[in-house]
Structure 1
Amino acid sequence: MEEIWVEKYRPIELSEIEGQDNITERLETFVEKKSLPHLLFAGPPGNGKTTAALCIARELFGENWQRNFLELNASDERGIDTIRTRVKDYARTRPIGDFPYKIIYLDESDALTSQAQHALRRTMEMYAETCRFILACNYSSKIIEPIQSRCAVFRFKRLADEDIEKVLETIAKSEDIKLTKGGIKAIIYVSRGDMRRAINVLQAASALGEKISKKVVYDVSAEASPDEVKDMVELALDGKFEDARDKLLDLLIDRGLAGDDILQQMHREAFNLDIPEPVKIKLVDRIGEFEFRLVQGANERIQLEAALAHVALIGNRLKS
């Protein structure tokens, strides 16, 4: 029984990270040679950056990898004092055991202030003999050039739908979860390439103790199905503004969805409408304008109804 448990929940290896084969192959080469440069992981959330850093630490240091691995979330501790004290103090001490260096992993490092990044640059330079840094960020452009030039940069790509589907099916089989094809497609739709979110949605849906269908996924993820949003936009384009508004109020008030989320889904579904391309351009342009208004603090209900009104006007011009 113990062997089964260990195999089922064992830590994954670099080669098992889905959707990043080119990156993991290069990282495995560094690990095999035990010659690790400073690393910069950049890319959207939920695609394996933190997992890759943990895999490197485990494969380099073995079972007691935590003794030579420090993980900090730079969005919580992003000031210059953190770099000058905690990071510097850890970097200057020698590693525990027969290892050439320790690893400091700075997650969300693009949240570091400019002063903190300049202090970090000097720390990386001075203590490279005893410590290696792995920086993870969503936007590498927010990392100052001197730090980028000191790192080997790895750009993690957005996960493909088939990669997410493969992981979901593996988890469902392992945990004996009934997951339908419609449920898989719905999870892929709401996760938008984020594996972390896909797994969280799967877990939330499985807690209901039912077969995980498309409806269950949209209920637990607090998102409208693409069909509902598409129908709402098509009703407005057909001149049925009142019907489109009723669907909007159902999503916004009765089901409590956020106005910004509805607009983002309208943007996604605009490209799937059976309308000429110039009309799609106008539609996307108007959706972008209303999204900006919401960001500036405008009333959700009024702006979304106004967005539907503009969609209806575009539909009237399309007919004439």
Structure 2
Amino acid sequence: MSLLCDKYRPTTLAKCDFNQQQCQRMRRLISTGNFPHLLIYGPSGSGKKTRAYALLREVFGVGVERLKLEHKQFETSYGRKFDQTVMSSNYHLEVNPSDAQFFDRLVVQQLIKELATSASLTDKHKFKVVVITEADRLTREAQHALRRTLEKYVVTCRVILIAESASPIIPAVKSRCLLLRNGAPTSANISSVLVSVAKKECFSLSAQMADKIANDCDHNLRRALLMLETYNVRQTGLNTAGTHTTGLIDVPQPQWRQQLASLAKKLTESPSMKKVLEIRSAFYELQTHLVPNDLIVRQLTKDLLKRCLDDPMKSRLMQMAADCEHWMRLGSKPIIHLEAFAIKFMNLWKSSVDGLQLDDIDGDTDMMSIVY
């Protein structure tokens, strides 16, 4: 039994429910016989990967849906071995090199080289395609290696990069790709999809509940479908227990979002050294469950914005969040910058409550002068 977000994933560009203008552009592109390197970027849950696979199906046919899971082993120059999970068909290969962290350069070079040197199965398209997910998380070394590889194997290999943002990708790679921005779906688009899926699954979904899920999913269609599935399970459980509900049912948020909401509440309470240790433990737990660090900063900032006292405080919070995300990209230990962000906000909150005016909240501050 598959999840709704996988069961009703569009398989062709014509079946996509939104961003039709982009789909028409992609169809015109392949109809001319031209298939350049692509960079598809946009927010999470906007259908980037869905459109990439729909494009591959338009080009190669249903063969791209016959996938197999492989674990390829790589060896570094000093003898260290590591495994990389790869999804592949006879026409393409999907990989997330950022899983290899500092060894992503090796994964990019070897996989593309192996794919480019293998023979193509079609006479019409004498190339294969490499789909690289989370391309914005690649290291600079891997991106420079990718640039050289794009030039060397351009005849027998095409690359589709999928990323949330194009800004972390170096200009040398972007200049060799056709950039396609995939915008997030509107609430109306999401509501329409939810009603359609509920109708196909033969369970009742009111327009008010569809709008509520669409407003709570942060314009993430995949998250909305998961929330719809959770709603259906809870509604079925209540009906089985003999409880008839006519109003709206609260759909629970993911556990990591609940933990960040609880953390935001702690940051607005009286700061202390004990609380800093609790915050550090909370950050470590989120990282252990593989929640991305930039997602932690963004969601925590959203929760803290709801608790800010005035507009100047919101402005300074946004500046601190931007600085934190910037330094996390440059550094090697994000936990340090996450802790610094939390401590600075506690200092800002304390100062705002007490009516103090700090000269430089973003400057270097002694930790003992912040916690009380």
TM-score (norm: length of structure 1): 0.70
| Structure 2 residue 233 is matched with structure 1 residue 207 | yes
For structure 1, the residue ranges without an aligned partner over 5 or more in a row are 1-7, 225-231, 242-257, 271-278, 315-320
2:106 to 81, 90, 107: 81
Please report how far the alpha carbon of residue 98 of structure 1 lies from its aligned counterpart in structure 2 after TM superposition: 3.0
Please report how far the alpha carbon of residue 131 of structure 1 lies from its aligned counterpart in structure 2 after TM superposition: 1.4
Which position in structure 1 is the counterpart of 2:61? 62
Determine the C-alpha separation between the residues in 1 that align with 2:310 and 2:341: 25
Which position in structure 2 is the counterpart of 1:52? 51
| Structure 2 residue 184 is matched with structure 1 residue 158 | yes
Please report how far the alpha carbon of residue 200 of structure 1 lies from its aligned counterpart in structure 2 after TM superposition: 1.3
Deviation per CA, 1:26-69: give whole Å up to 9, x if none: 10112223321110111111101100110011111112123101
Instruction: Name the stretch that deviates more: 200-209 or 283-292.
Output: 283-292
- When the two chains are superposed, the root-mean-square deviation of aligned CA atoms in Å is 3.9
Q: Secondary structure at the match of 2:61?
A: helix
Instruction: Name the stretch that deviates more: 103-112 or 175-184.
Output: 175-184
Determine the C-alpha separation between the residues in 2 that align with 1:298 and 1:114: 25
Tell me if the contact between 1:110 and 1:137 (Cα under 8 Å) persists in the aligned partners. yes
Please report how far the alpha carbon of residue 280 of structure 1 lies from its aligned counterpart in structure 2 after TM superposition: 4.5
> How many equivalent residue pairs?
272
Deviation per CA, 1:269-298: give whole Å up to 9, x if none: 97xxxxxxxx85235246558979996438
Please report how far the alpha carbon of residue 140 of structure 1 lies from its aligned counterpart in structure 2 after TM superposition: 0.8
Quick one: percent identity of the two aligned structures?
27
Residue type of the alignment partner of 1:161: S
Determine the C-alpha separation between the residues in 2 that align with 1:86 and 1:178: 47
Q: Secondary structure at the match of 1:75?
A: helix
Tell me if the contact between 2:37 and 2:177 (Cα under 8 Å) persists in the aligned partners. yes
- The change in CA–CA distance for 1:281 and 1:177 in structure 2 (over 3 A counts) is same
Determine the C-alpha separation between the residues in 1 that align with 2:135 and 2:48: 12
Which position in structure 1 is the counterpart of 2:305? 267
| Structure 2 residue 133 is matched with structure 1 residue 107 | yes
Tell me if the contact between 1:179 and 1:213 (Cα under 8 Å) persists in the aligned partners. no
Structure 1 runs, 4 residues or longer, greater than 6 Å off = 289-295, 311-314
| Structure 2 residue 18 is matched with structure 1 residue 19 | yes
Tell me if the contact between 1:168 and 1:184 (Cα under 8 Å) persists in the aligned partners. yes
Residue type of the alignment partner of 2:140: S
Determine the C-alpha separation between the residues in 1 that align with 2:246 and 2:152: 53
- The change in CA–CA distance for 1:139 and 1:179 in structure 2 (over 3 A counts) is same
Residue type of the alignment partner of 1:83: V
Q: Secondary structure at the match of 2:250?
A: helix
Alignment of 1:189-268 (within 5 A): 189-208=215-234, 209=236, 210=238, 214-217=248-251, 219-221=252-254, 264-265=302-303, 267=305
Structure with greater helix share of residues? 1
- The change in CA–CA distance for 1:163 and 1:86 in structure 2 (over 3 A counts) is same
Which position in structure 2 is the counterpart of 1:95? 120
